[in-house]
Amino acid sequence: CLEMAYSDKVLICRDCGISFTFTAGEQAFYASRGLLNQPTRCSSCRSSRKSGRALEEGGYVHYGAAASFGGRTPRQMHPAVCAECGEMTEVPFLPRGDKPVYCSECYNKIRERS
């Protein structure tokens, strides 16, 4: 498992100055995507920055990636480790840690069982 090579790191957000945790799972996810730099902003500052950029674009119709979402912006995805198979996955919500998170394949298998 790749995650064993990583350990949680506490980083400081460059915008608000608050410390945030760059988890081992997130580090493994970044590495799997070929991302070499660690995040410099906490998740709330990243979200604020993304929504601010969308407003700066002036409401023009954009073709390409956004068009496939019917004009809506795609959901922000968050890295997580599947509680069933241990693989890295992305989920459309921020995992809280008190409930298991599953990749879509494991989620569908579990749903079929119940």
Half-sphere exposure of 9 (CA within 13 A, CB side): 15
Total domains present in the chain: 2
* 23 and 69 together in one domain: yes
To the question of pTM greater than 0.75 for the whole model, the response is no
User: Does 101 score more than 80 pLDDT?
Assistant: yes
| Residue 89 CB burial class (10 angstroms; 0-12, 13-18, ≥19) | buried
* 11 and 67 together in one domain: yes
- pLDDT (0 to 100) of residue 95: 84
* 40 and 20 together in one domain: yes
* 34 and 64 together in one domain: yes
* 50 and 88 together in one domain: no
* 89 and 36 together in one domain: no
* 68 and 94 together in one domain: no
Q: How many CB atoms lie within 10 A of CB 60?
A: 5
> How does DSSP classify residue 68?
G
Q: Residues 8-58: pLDDT tens digits? A: 999 999 999 999 999 998 999 888 888 889 999 998 898 888 877 655 555
- Domain range holding 93? 75-114
Please report which confidence band the pLDDT of residue 4 belongs to, taking 50, 70 and 90 as the band edges: low
* 67 and 44 together in one domain: yes
- Residue 101 CA to residue 108 CA, distance in Å, equals 12
Residue spans of alpha helices (H) in 16-114: 24-32, 43-56, 104-113
* 61 and 5 together in one domain: yes
* 58 and 88 together in one domain: no
* 36 and 90 together in one domain: no
* 55 and 95 together in one domain: no
Beta strand ranges found along the chain (DSSP E): 9-12, 19-22, 78-81, 88-91
Q: What percent of the chain has pLDDT over 70?
A: 78
